[in-house]
């Protein structure tokens, strides 16, 4: 494997130190990669700051072309990037490939997005225009579950709006992101995009760095709070996409056989390590047994293994800490419910856990109330849909949620009551670059994607002219 480098000021450089990246399927090192220190961060911030005036003044067409070229570069190197993703993250190769092409599609969407100047008044002695100005240097901080797709929620939008960027992947999944930095190095002026990797120790420095104007953060709610506190002194702009505990409410009129595979996919994709995974399923008592049985047989049939092996549907947990956390949630499920599929790790090597279905469990247990972020799913019975919604809403989180019913009007009426940024009906976890994505309550602040997400990389400027 070619050595990995940081991208700082248009140069591929080594960091102040190195670190090992572990393959979660084997627990063996995949590669050694550079680790940035404070001095590297300062250099990246200085480079991004220096690049800002020219980049923000460049014609938007120039920025569009750069984003299009970045999308081309991602696609042209999809095979290598997908393999790296699987090696460091664990996900099956076909899912890694989908993530890579997805990232390219998000770059292409923002390459053609518009930041229109609008007029809110013309006449009555004034002409009032609203413009959008870039903010300056943006820090894009990404977690380990979807390194490439989540950075592509941020980087192209920030660049299109005229900002410069420091991109930082998670400590356990830096490789595909560093390779991306190398691939796009010559497609942008030096310093416009900088990519640094850390050992989970530079986040606080990034957040309070005086040269950084905005933090676009995706990660846990606990870290999100620290980001907000760190950004407070300078009143930095922040967008926080945080944790979730999405409820799926399955009404009495659905066919369990038809619906269970969709719910299974929504819960276990990426081994359940998805912010908008279906993390607790409320099922009407009349179909509860049938739904539990269907989900358990899908779990029993699922192929768990190394993401590089053909046929693998569910890879390992991404890192040891998460693996242990999920085993702990399984124990909670064993104590407070009944495990009807899975419930154990599959081998002594690798962070593999079989998809686990827990029935006869109630709100108030940790597995239902907290974010498990892994392949263990609690199924809760209800007899009144309004009550199920009240229970679904009794959470500090409000990222997504779903209602499942043959009667879309009925589902829609319930959906309006759900306290979450997104509600899906008869599906779950469907995102696209033109659809804004925002968390309610402790799932986030602000939005990503769509016009709303793009606007978050800008400052409103009103020009009010006497006429």
The answer to whether 64 and 110 are in contact (CB under 8 A) is: no
Binder among 34, 92, 102, 244 for ligand NAD (CB under 6 A): 244
Give yes or no for residue 270 binding ligand NAD (CB under 6 A). Answer: no
Contact pattern for ligand NAD over residues 273 through 312, marking x by CB under 6 A: --x-------------------------------------
Give the closest residue to 305 by CA, choosing from 94, 92, 144, 99.
92
Give yes or no for residue 439 binding ligand NAD (CB under 6 A). Answer: yes
Radius of gyration of the chain (CA): 23
- Segment near ligand NAD (CB under 6 A); pick from 2-10, 39-47, 183-191, 203-211: 203-211
290 phi and psi, to 5 degrees? -65, -40
419 is catalytic: no
Give yes or no for residue 242 binding ligand NAD (CB under 6 A). Answer: yes
| N- to C-terminal Cα separation, the chain | 65
Rounded Cα distance, 166 and 41, in Å: 9
285 is catalytic: no
Give yes or no for residue 138 binding ligand NAD (CB under 6 A). Answer: no
Give yes or no for residue 145 binding ligand NAD (CB under 6 A). Answer: yes
User: Among 33, 99, 205, 275, which one carries the catalytic annotation?
Assistant: 275
Q: For 329, how many CA atoms within 13 A lie in the half-sphere containing its CB?
A: 28
The answer to whether 71 and 110 are in contact (CB under 8 A) is: no
Give me the residues paired with residue 17 across strands: 35
Rounded Cα distance, 224 and 77, in Å: 32
Helix-then-strand count for the chain, H and E: 15, 24
The answer to whether 422 and 402 are in contact (CB under 8 A) is: no
Binder among 168, 209, 236, 428 for ligand NAD (CB under 6 A): 168
Give yes or no for residue 171 binding ligand NAD (CB under 6 A). Answer: yes
| Least distance to ligand NAD, CB of residue 394, Å | 19
Give yes or no for residue 374 binding ligand NAD (CB under 6 A). Answer: no
| Least distance to ligand NAD, CB of residue 435, Å | 13
Q: For 191, how many CA atoms within 13 A lie in the half-sphere containing its CB?
A: 17
Give yes or no for residue 207 binding ligand NAD (CB under 6 A). Answer: yes
Which residue number, 73 or 212, has a Cβ lying nearer to ligand NAD? 212
> Catalytic residues, which ones?
241, 275
Which residues are at the interface with ligand NAD (CB under 6 A)? 141-145, 150, 168, 170-171, 200, 203-204, 206-207, 218-220, 223, 226-227, 241-244, 275, 371, 373, 399, 439, 444
């Amino acid at each position: 494997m070619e050595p990995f480098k940081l991208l700082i000021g248009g140069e591929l450089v080594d960091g102040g130190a190195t670190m090992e990246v572990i393959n979660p399927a084997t627990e063996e090192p995949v590669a050694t990669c550079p680790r940035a220190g404070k001095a590297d961060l300062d250099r990246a911030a200085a480079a991004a700051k220096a690049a800002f005036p020219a980049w923000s003044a460049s014609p938007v067409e120039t920025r569009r072309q750069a984003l299009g070229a970045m999308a081309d570069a991602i696609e042209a190197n999809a095979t290598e990037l997908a393999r790296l993703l699987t090696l460091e993250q664990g996900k099956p190769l076909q899912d890694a490939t989908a993530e890579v092409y997805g990232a390219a599609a998000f770059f292409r969407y923002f390459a053609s997005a518009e930041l229109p100047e609008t007029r809110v008044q013309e006449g009555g002695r004034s002409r009032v225009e609203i413009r959008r100005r870039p903010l300056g240097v943006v820090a894009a901080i990404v977690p380990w579950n979807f390194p490439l797709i989540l950075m592509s929620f941020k980087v192209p939008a920030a660049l299109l709006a005229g900002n410069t960027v420091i991109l930082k992947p998670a400590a356990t999944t830096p490789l595909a992101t560093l390779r991306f930095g190398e691939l796009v190095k010559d497609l942008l002026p030096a310093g416009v995009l900088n990519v640094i990797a850390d050992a989970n120790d530079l986040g606080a420095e990034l957040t309070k760095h005086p040269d950084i104007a905005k933090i676009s953060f995706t990660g846990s709610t606990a870290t999100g709070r620290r980001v907000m506190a760190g950004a407070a002194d300078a009143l930095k702009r922040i967008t926080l996409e945080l944790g979730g505990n999405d409820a799926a409410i399955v009404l009495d009129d659905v066919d369990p056989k038809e619906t269970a595979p969709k719910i299974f996919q929504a819960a276990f994709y990426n081994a359940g390590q998805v912010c908008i995974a279906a993390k607790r399923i409320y099922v009407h008592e009349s179909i509860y047994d049938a739904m539990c049985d269907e989900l358990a047989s899908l779990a029993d049939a699922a192929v768990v293994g190394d993401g590089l092996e053909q046929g693998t549907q569910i890879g390992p947990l991404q890192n040891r800490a998460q693996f242990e956390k999920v085993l702990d949630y399984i124990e909670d499920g064993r104590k407070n419910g009944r495990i009807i599929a899975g419930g154990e790790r599959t081998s002594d090597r690798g962070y593999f856990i079989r998809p686990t279905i827990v029935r006869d469990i109630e709100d108030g247990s940790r597995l239902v109330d907290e974010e498990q972020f892994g392949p263990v799913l609690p199924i809760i019975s209800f007899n009144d849909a309004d009550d199920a919604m009240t229970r679904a809403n009794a959470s500090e989180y409000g990222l997504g949620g779903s209602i499942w019913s043959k009667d879309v009007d009925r589902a829609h009426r319930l959906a309006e009551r759900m306290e979450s940024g997104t509600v899906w009906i008869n599906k779950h976890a469907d995102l696209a670059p033109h659809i804004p994505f925002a968390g309610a309550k402790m799932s986030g602040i602000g939005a990503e994607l769509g016009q709303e997400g793009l606007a978050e990389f800008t400052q409103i400027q009103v020009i009010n002219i006497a006429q």
